[in-house]
Chain A
Amino acid sequence: MATLDSKIPAGPLADKWTNYKNNINLVNPANKRLIDVIVVGTGLAGGSAAATLAELGYNVKAFCFQDSPRRAHSIAAQGGINAAKNYQGDGDSTFRLFYDTVKGGDYRSREANVYRLAEVSANIIDQCVAQGVPFARDYGGLLDNRSFGGVLVSRTFYAKGQTGQQLLLGAYSAMNRQIGRGKIKMYNRHEMMDIVVVDGKARGIIARNLVTGEIERHSAHAVVLGTGGYGNVFFLSTNAMGSNVSAAWKAHKRGAYFANPCFTQIHPTCIPVSGELQAKLTLMSESLRNDGRIWVPKKLEDVEAIRAGKLKPTQIKEEDRDYYLERRYPAFGNLVPRDVASRAAKERCDAGYGVNATGEAVYLDFASAVTRYGKEAAHVRGLNENDNTLVQKLGKEIIANKYGNLFQMYEKIVDENPYETPMMIYPAVHYTMGGLWVDYNLMTTVPGLYAIGEANFSDHGANRLGASALMQGLADGYFVLPYTIGDYLASDIRTGAIPTNTPEFDAAEKEVTERLNFFVNNNGTHSVDYFHRRLGKIMWDKCGMARNTDGLKSAIAEIKALREEFWKDLKVPGSADEYNEELAKAGRVADFLELGELFAKDALERNESCGGHFREESQTAEGEAARDDANYTYVSAWEYTGLPSEANLHKEELVYENIELKTRSYK
């Protein structure tokens, strides 16, 4: 059995990455032409990796299931990207970004990886600006910043509420240049169905052309997965509809350990669930907490009146409102980290203070910000600060400038005007910190198989800070993987092209075909969504914001039973050799039904609360998460052995040499 070697380089924290780069094996430019690399996924992680590897001279084949690389889920990121540039002169530094990220992750991430991330963060901004990414600027023409939760500096770069879009279009443009040069061969509308392992090394993939249904073999000297997160195991999440775990899960079944599957981020500010037939949830960016104040009424009778439509939130007097984050966490107020804010919302709603019909919503209110900005603007222009109509008008203009597209999105969905009445929000599944276990090189436990971006587990511990996923995806793809993969590929310069007419490819293809045929021939009665919704409900009720032993045990049993029912009673129309969206979905949900069980098992095993993982058994008298450092300062890495229930646990002990483990406090 493989032992977990994180391959962290020796030496002082701040020198590790530089020393590492000075000592790795390199592949000379002529030899790079002899080496093929497959990159699955073209989001920020996969897209930036594919472009950079092609620039270096490798032959890259890239895959995505959408009709263009530009449509990867990264496009939807709203708020911003962190970087330790210290342009605001507010005391930021590489160390502070590193420290905030480790603390924000509740001390469950690897120091060396996080430090490297903080170290390359500044390069990301330089690179993106050079590509023509139009970040927000101030009137002096320099780059602007905003603040995100869990930190006390302004280090977030942004492009209005469309930061992910602009960064992804930057990576896409870098890819396009290489596609034009023939160095990247792009396979759109292709789904990776399996990894092919030859002599213990990842040497290719089986893919399905989603337009024709054709099964294809693709070989390479190394395979990189940048296939995103698995939040859709909850059915309802802020992820795009197609986001899935399948690529990572196939890798897991071929020997890659899956780390911390239960570490999920539930984002505090999303539009609440409105109906039974809803297909997805929509995020309202964390940046709104720069100006929005979160509250519920203090009195239950007000709550009831609101629900009955007899009272409007704007009619509730200031002293009858409970700004519960400001009350509980005076130091960080509305800008506490996500896990803390989400739990606090749940606490109020569980106590009966939820403000919509379902009892699962709290207010995000911009009224004080409108007044504050309005007065400021009136003052600057020498107008009457006491003219309320004027102040409101000026204030709303400023809010529209900052968050216009988010307010529009809210209005379209909810049919209420958030400039006039507070938004209603509730936590929703958003991001998965867990993922494929990787070492310092971003290599999984399968040699030659790499995982980058949200697909790996590496940098965010048990809770990710806002604006750090974009940073990590681009760090992995532009600045880390291109070095580390070279070290591995240096031994492959004489291997020659990997043939695809081998028993390993035959076997993998046969398995894939058999499964597809099973789905289309199965004589069941229910559609894929029917099962997916039910899985989501089990996950949300028992593996969501609060977890306990009994709930997790029953989740494990229920998911197993649902999986059996799925395989018996699923109905997939059409055939396998045509465009068939239902067939693609069936494969993804089949994998979610296995991952879901491992998720619950992992949550059960970790009998402590940390970050987004809240075990009801492990809390302080004030209801805050209580970590158990003596017993759980490790990464849980699960080895597949046939069934999720029988997965083997391997522990990577986490060693903190540069940061003292402390109770996280935002009070």
Chain B
Amino acid sequence: MNLKLKIWRQKNANDKGKMVDYPISDVSPDMSFLEMLDVLNNQLIEKGESPVAFDHDCREGICGMCSLYINGEAHGPDRGVTTCQLHMRKFKDGDTIYIEPFRAKAFPIIKDLVVDRGAFDRIQHAGGFVSVNTSGNTQDANSIPIPKADADLAFDAATCIGCGACVATCKNSSAMLYVSAKVSQFALLPQGQVEAKDRVLNMVKQMDAEGFGNCTNTGACEVECPKGISLDNIARMNREFSKAILDGREK
């Protein structure tokens, strides 16, 4: 296949940035999208030009490092996959492909397609944990049975890979889906109950401080989320939040 790539190039955080055209030929449909960019980069390097910077590591859809806004969609046209799992067979010979970074005020651009998602980590520092020390004499793992249904729902929420597609997709750049995934995981498990109220308040407070927008229930995040994190989690987080407020926990 021969393709026309239009890629966002931006030298660093202060640069203005612009779209640049790169034609590419002989792309095999069995290649992954990132392998296609590898090929482009090797050509650029050998020509003495600067390669396109993009984030990636595991290349199997689990580390959450890859991003990219492809033809106006976070992680591209396929559903239920990350960019690194996207294959060129989803495109046709002669296509023009627009490749941009995940854009949001809380995700400043570092270079080209690489953005800083540190805000996500800082929200976790505020409360994304159970306060239990490592001692070697924790109680036996089977001493608290957990109903399978709850454990399965907690697991589903916990599969969020922290990629940021939900934020990039949302017209308000809201991080509700991401934050609610962690809040839900712990809200569904007995281990998470003790700190439940402080957790939700602290995480939401940090989320707001990072400059993420409000949730207006458009649901675009759920559609683009590569891990199928459900909107039910947002509803659950809202309930947790209200419970905490009613309890007078707000500081």
Contact = CB atoms under 8 A, between A and B. Distances in A.
Interface of A: 48, 51-52, 55, 66-71, 73, 75-76, 85, 87, 120, 123, 125-132, 134-143, 159-160, 162, 164-166, 169, 172-174, 176-177, 179-180, 186, 188, 211, 240-242, 274-275, 277-280, 282, 408-409, 412-413, 415, 478-479, 482, 525-527, 529-530, 571, 573-574, 578-579, 581-582
Interface stretch (B43-51, B97-105, B207-215, B243-251): B43-51
Interface string B61-86: 11111000000000000101100010
A527 B155 contact: no
Nearest to B26: A277
A162 B159 contact: yes
Interface stretch (B115-123, B172-180, B216-224): B115-123
A633 B110 CA distance: 52
B142 A142 contact: yes
25 contacts: A66-B63, A68-B117, A70-B63, A123-B138, A127-B136, A129-B144, A131-B132, A132-B130, A132-B185, A141-B145, A142-B142, A166-B158, A176-B121, A240-B59, A240-B63, A241-B57, A277-B35, A278-B35, A279-B35, A478-B136, A525-B46, A527-B45, A573-B45, A579-B110, A581-B51
A137 B151 contact: yes
Q: Could you say which interface size class chain B belongs to?
A: 35 or more
Contacts of B124: 172-173, 176
A126 B141 contact: yes
A527 B58 contact: no
Nearest to B133: A55
Interface string B11-49: 110000000000000001011101100110110111011
B15 to A, nearest CB: 11
Contact of A482 (B64, B134, B138, B147): B134
Q: Which of B12, B111, B133 has the most CB atoms of chain A within a 10 A radius of its CB?
A: B133
B141 A75 contact: no
B189 interface: yes
Nearest to B121: A68
Given A169-B158, A277-B39, A478 B60 contact: no
Contacts of B142: 87, 142-143
B146 interface: yes
B185 A134 contact: yes
B148 A529 contact: no
Given A69-B121, A140-B145, 7 more contacts: A67-B118, A126-B140, A132-B189, A137-B148, A165-B62, A277-B31, A280-B59
Of all A-B residue pairs in the complex, the 3 with the closest CB atoms, nearest first, are: A141-B145, A173-B129, A134-B155
Nearest to B115: A67
Nearest to B43: A527
A575 to B, nearest CB: 10
Contacts of A69: 121
A578 B12 contact: yes
A529 B42 contact: yes
B37 to A, nearest CB: 10
A128 to B, nearest CB: 8
Contacts of B62: 75-76, 162, 164-165
A130 B139 contact: yes
Q: Which of B28, B117, B133, B136 has the most CB atoms of chain A within a 10 A radius of its CB?
A: B136
A529 B121 contact: no
